[in-house]
Chains A and B, each alone.
Chain A
Amino acid sequence: MSPLPPSTTLPPPGARNRWVQRLPFLSLALFLGAIAALVWLTREYDADEQRTTLLNDVLWMEQNLRFQLDRNEIHLQQLGAELFAGTSLSPQTEASLAHLLNPERGLVQILWLAPDGRLAGALPPRPAEAAGGNRAPTPATFELARSVGRPVYGPAYPATGNAHHFEVHVPLWSDESLLGVVVGVYSLSDLVVRELPWWFSERYRVAVLDADGREIAAKSKVAPLSPRLAYSMSFDPPGHGLTLQITAYKSETRWIPLLLGASIVLLGGIIVWSVVQLRRQLSRRQQAETALRTESAFRKAMEDSMRTGMRARDLDGRLTYVNSAFCRMTGFAAEELIGLKPPMPYWDPERLEQTFEVHREIMAGESTAEGTEVRLRRKNGEALDVLVFEAPLIDAHGRHAGWMGSVLDITEQKRAREQARQQEERLQQSSRLITMGEMASTLAHELNQPLAAITSYNSGCINRLQGDELDPAELLDIHQRIARQARRAGEIIRRVHDFVRRAEPRREVLDLNAVIRDAVGLIEADARKRRVSILADLAPALPPVAVDAVMIEQIVVNLVRNAIDSMRDTPASRRRVEIATAGDDRFVTVTVADRGSGIADEISARLFEPFFTTKPEGMGMGLNICRSIAELHHGRLGFAARPDGGTLFTLSLPVDLDSA
């Protein structure tokens, strides 16, 4: 696990970011617009092209028709000379006529009329009219042609079937005299159908409309036509209000541009869709990012505000993470700690071994749920008591990656507990003192009464003796009273003694070592505070003793406390109280040795005197009580100076022979 970087600040989703988000949409819109414009332009261009082609084709067709008509006029004129030259037609002429009547030329009939308008001949012959008269089919046209002397076209008229015909009248002149008029009858539909080449009729529908707009001939009956591509022009010749209408067939679908356009539209759609998807994903990501940022800030705040120190270690015991509470606790900065291996700089240098032991236990996974109490040292040297709870650290892959420890600062609690204990002790001591004081005061008062009475009687007696007024009976009476008061005083003292006797020890057969261990436990905290180590060298198998555990405990505590007090001026390295037990078949001895200032000779003589003390706050009862207890147990309390400084106190207790 690696620590979070101190400030993981992602840029806020600001105005710039919004622009960046909109840019793809904008460019996409522009792109689609451009594509649409391109497609439209292409289509326009295409349509223009088609129109131009149409115009070209139409013009070509018109010209073609005109040429045809012109060519026919010339043929008719040439034929006319032969038609009017003789009465019978030469085979050559007939062949020419037949050739001329080819449906491809549009002509269905050729008539030749005399200058007066009589029908001179016709090919093919006209059955009905041949019987009816020799009139020109349309006299007005004939007249016009005769008078203007040039070929004249007549109006279209309905013929048999649905066909419409029109005529061309070609006057023939020979030296100022009219030879006759050759009339070519055109079938409109033949002209339109046959005259135009196949490719034209495939692309266009050609229709001929009369002056009223009615369709009188058409190349095709197929109706669905593109109305957009149509062209009308007057059909002249023959004229007379005839109109040629050319309409382009709906041209075949132009697949490539269509596919191109469609694919562009499709691709555009895909792009829009993908951009929308992208955007959706982006916003989801942003949401996730915001959530992550909030979460991260929350965790960071939580981590910083936590009072519990957290530290993570890898499997080698190397520190990989510490939180700010831990740094505050130890006084080291995180950079100073991360990556370090034990021994840590915040370990108490005086308890390195113990701390190592705790460390090894934790690394072996032997940490308990109640936590382990460890004494550490802050960077500034202050002592720090902590309670460590260790838990295995499992990484994202489920592997055991190290250890996570939460560290609680219990220095204050410990101090408070210690103070409370001392307070309690002082309270008990002072309450004992008060009780004792009260008892002593009552006792003094009680004793004062008979004593005061005795002195008063005595003073009176002296007065009498000085005044020479001796009355033996009176004096006897008074002395009897004096004796009564003296007995009363004695009685009081006996009562006191009885009271004291009631506090006999409650003896039990005990393991003395256990009693001593308890006593050491009671005073250990105090000793540690004063930098004194207590060394207990207890004999493994002591003979049994019958003692009052509380009383013996009190002796040991008292002796150890005295030992600690006596080493006030001893250098710290030598401050050590050694407690040892030993036993033989008669006595069990407990020795408490110190390296203190020793006991001066004049003091040693008074050491067990009641109310004698060398301590300013002492009461002078401690050693006295200890000796009393020892004697109550039929044991002894003694002391001796140690040759290389210090004092050795020895408590010996007789072995309990009954239970041995």
Chain B
Amino acid sequence: MIPACTHIIDDDEAIRDALQWLFKTRGVACRAWPGGEAFVDAWQPGWRGCIVLDIRMAGMSGLECFDTLLARGCTLPVIFITGHGDVPMAVSALKKGAFHFIEKPFNDHDLVDLVEKALAADAEHQRAAASRETIEARLAPLTSREREVMNLILEGKYNKVIADELSISMRTVEAHRSRIFDKMEVRSAVELAQQLTILRD
């Protein structure tokens, strides 16, 4: 697995350098990019970590870069660095799903704290995504009849009722039930419901 990394995207070399130094002194792994284009070109879906993105840049602006990444399915949390005049832009970016924005001149500790939060959030997101994948993998081998039965179980219906509704015998319902529980690696209907709730989120 690729280690998490903070990506600094800024066209000003001094800023990149200073931030890298700052993050280094706080033990945060980071990588600097001279502009949005370079990052977008290099980005891979498996990358973890967060992005510190300057709004006002020569070439591709921070917002354009953000939009492009969203369009490509990048879920990395993005912290915008913005000057005074860019606040409304930053806010609108926030509404689109940016993680946070920080106004220049900023307190360096606040920035590092935000980065750490973003990294944690990404990690959490990663975990959730992983479990979702597991559950989806378990759901995959279920037959259509088993899915039918499972939905009825989730509605909280008794075996007898399920049997009546599907016009099958109680024994068959019970057989389905145990097979579903096996495949989903759960022991009770409550656990099953929990798993499916994760999926729905």
Contact = CB atoms under 8 A, between A and B. Distances in A.
Interface of A: 441, 444-445, 448-457, 459-461, 463-464, 467, 478, 481, 484-485, 488
Contacts of B3: none
Contact of B18 (A441, A448, A456, A467): A456
Contacts of A459: 22, 25, 108-109
A463 B19 CA distance: 13
Given A445-B56, A460-B21, A453 B26 contact: no
Contact of A449 (B14, B22, B25, B84): B14
Contacts of A478: 21
B104 interface: yes
A451 B18 CA distance: 11
A467 to B, nearest CB: 7
B45 interface: no
Contacts of B26: 463
B12 interface: yes
B136 to A, nearest CB: 43
B47 interface: no
25 contacts: A441-B85, A444-B83, A444-B84, A445-B56, A449-B14, A449-B15, A451-B105, A452-B106, A453-B14, A453-B18, A455-B18, A456-B15, A456-B21, A456-B108, A457-B22, A459-B22, A459-B25, A459-B108, A460-B21, A460-B108, A463-B22, A463-B26, A478-B21, A481-B18, A484-B14
Instruction: Classify chain B's interface size.
Output: 20 to 34
Contacts of A456: 15, 18-19, 21-22, 108
Nearest to A474: B21
B31 interface: no
Contacts of B22: 456-457, 459-460, 463
Interface of B: 12, 14-15, 17-19, 21-22, 24-26, 56, 83-85, 104-106, 108-109
B115 to A, nearest CB: 13
Contacts of B19: 456
Contacts of A445: 56, 83, 85
Contacts, number: 63
A448 B14 contact: no
A444 B19 CA distance: 20
A453 B83 contact: no
A578 B42 CA distance: 73
Contact of B25 (A452, A454, A467, A484): A467
Nearest to B23: A460
Nearest to A482: B18
A564 B12 CA distance: 50
User: Which 8 pairs of residues, A with B, have the shortest CB-CB distance?
Assistant: A456-B18, A459-B108, A463-B25, A453-B14, A453-B18, A460-B25, A460-B21, A460-B22
A463 B113 CA distance: 14
A460 B105 contact: no
A652 B84 CA distance: 41
A386 B104 CA distance: 60
Nearest to B109: A459
Contacts of A454: 18
A461 B175 CA distance: 67
A452 B56 contact: no
B105 A455 contact: yes
B99 to A, nearest CB: 20
Contacts of B83: 441, 444-445, 448
A452 B105 contact: yes
Nearest to B83: A445
